């Protein structure tokens, strides 16, 4: 089977997860890779056939997305041209990890496709939502950003029959977690200078990984600032006492797998992270909604606490690859349009009946 695998290149989580999936999938299928977006620091580890700008966003420095910079770099004409120009007809199956060009090209040209991503899990009514309830607008955005008739969702728990627990990197699985006494920080939507100013007030060692720092690591009192890199971050995470991070998916999932103490700060205006924060909160993870004058005291209390949580995240990649290839073989013809959920239906949108 010949597979085109489209990977979202905004952030590092999609790439880290996809690299693990490729180690298994490439042994059973011929795979070409499309990577869209340039705001990442982690290497995919495989040859990339197509590099495209895609439809991504830029991290800001105050806890959210820099929408002005994101819109400035977006070209609708280029996106449409890439969708219609991508030769998906040469492939037996299109696989997408929240990547819009491959997903829409498969849809337009009626090629079999499968979506595997954390975002796909949001098409289930069973996943945790924030206390204020569902945002149907933002869930529609998640549904149509990279649509597919077949879904494989990933989440912190198996909330539905098409949802799997997280894919954990091999670099993390093969490590024995230990406590080196430091705390790891990964808050990509915050300026490291602002974060360091708060952290220096608490007398522990902090290792901050910043998307906004591109040079060599440097020390500022009890804070060491690193550029984001796969090996160095994995080293820090495995040996840390706890991690302070956004309410994304891959980083909290790996920290949970390692049994680390976690505190999360969901990104402003990010519905996906608000939902993740709700799920993590139900697991006992402290959630901070904003960084204000009282944050230092909250952070100090957390440092002096002893909470950790360790779920059973066994290696599910063989099962996931089986599901992908079976879906490709079963698809045969063109995918149907994603149907609306009828009254009383409890299945995820887009999931075959």
pLDDT at residue 70 above 60?
A: no
To the nearest whole number, what is the mean pLDDT of the chain?
85
Nearest to 172 by CA among 241, 225, 242, 251: 251
Cα–Cα distance for residue pair 169/224, rounded to 1 Å: 24
> What's the pLDDT score for residue 98?
93
Q: Note the pLDDT of residue 350.
A: 32
* DSSP 8-state class, residue 166: P
Residue 1 DSSP SS3? coil
Evaluate whether 191 touches 314 at the Cβ level (below 8 Å): no
pLDDT, tens digit (0-9, with 9 covering 90-100), for 93-135: 999 999 999 999 999 999 999 999 999 999 999 999 998 888 9
**Of 62, 65, 26, whose CA–CA distance to 44 is shortest?**
26
Question: Hey, what domains does the chain have and what are their CATH numbers?
Answer: 2-167+316-331 (3.40.50.2000), 171-303 (3.40.50.2000)
Average pLDDT of 147-172? 95
pLDDT at 71 over 70: no
pLDDT score of 290: 81
> Quick one: pLDDT band at residue 85, thresholds 50, 70, 90?
very high
Question: In which band, very low, low, confident or very high, does the pLDDT at 72 lie, cut at 50, 70 and 90?
Answer: low
CA separation, residue 267 to residues 68, 70, 213, 301 (Å): 17, 16, 19, 22
Structure tokens at 150: 């077949």
Residue with tokens 């299109």: 94
Better-scored residue on pLDDT, 192 or 296: 296
Stretch 140-160: mean pLDDT: 95
Q: Is 30 helix (H, G, I), strand (E, B) or coil?
A: strand
* Contact predicate 216/237, CB 8 Å: no
Residues with Cβ within 8 Å of 330's Cβ and at least 6 positions away in sequence, in order, are: none
Share of the chain above pLDDT 70, in %: 86
pLDDT tens for each residue of 171-220: 899 999 999 999 999 998 788 888 888 999 999 999 999 887 888 999 99
Question: Could you tell me the two tokens for 260?
Answer: 């680390």
């Amino acid at each position: 089977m010949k597979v085109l695998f489209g990977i979202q290149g905004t952030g590092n989580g999609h790439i880290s997860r996809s690299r693990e999936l490729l180690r298994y999938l490439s042994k059973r299928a011929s795979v070409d890779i499309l990577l869209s977006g340039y705001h990442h620091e982690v290497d995919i580890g495989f040859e990339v056939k197509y590099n495209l700008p895609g439809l991504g966003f830029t991290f800001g420095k105050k806890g959210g997305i820099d929408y002005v910079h994101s819109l400035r770099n977006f070209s609708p004409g280029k996106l449409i041209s890439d969708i219609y120009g991508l030769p998906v007809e040469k492939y037996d199956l299109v696989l997408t990890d929240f990547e819009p060009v491959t997903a829409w090209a498969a849809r337009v040209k009626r090629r079999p496709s499968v979506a595997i991503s954390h975002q796909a899990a949001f098409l289930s009514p069973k996943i945790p939502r924030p206390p204020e309830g569902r945002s149907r607008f933002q869930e529609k955005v998640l549904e149509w950003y990279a649509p597919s008739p077949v879904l494989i969702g990933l989440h912190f728990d198996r909330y539905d029959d098409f949802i799997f627990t997280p894919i954990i990197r091999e670099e993390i699985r093969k490590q024995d977690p230990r406590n080196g006494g430091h705390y790891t920080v990964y808050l990509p939507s915050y300026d490291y200078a602002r974060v360091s100013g708060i952290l220096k007030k608490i007398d522990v060692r902090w290792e901050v990984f910043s998307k906004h720092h591109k040079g060599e690591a440097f020390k500022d009192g009890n804070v060491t600032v690193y550029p984001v890199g796969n090996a160095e971050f994995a080293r820090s995470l495995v040996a840390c006492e706890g991690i302070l991070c956004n309410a994304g998916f891959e980083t909290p999932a790996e920290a949970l797998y390692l049994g680390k103490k976690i505190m999360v700060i969901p990104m402003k205006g990010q519905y996906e992270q608000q939902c993740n924060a709700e799920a993590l909160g139900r697991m006992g993870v402290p959630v901070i909604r904003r960084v204000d004058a009282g944050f230092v005291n909250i952070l100090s209390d957390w440092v002096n606490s002893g909470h950790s949580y360790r779920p059973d995240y066994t290696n599910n990649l063989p099962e996931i690859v089986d599901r992908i290839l079976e879906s490709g073989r079963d698809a045969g013809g063109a995918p149907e349009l994603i149907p609306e959920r009828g009254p009383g239906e409890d299945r995820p949108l887009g999931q075959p009946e």
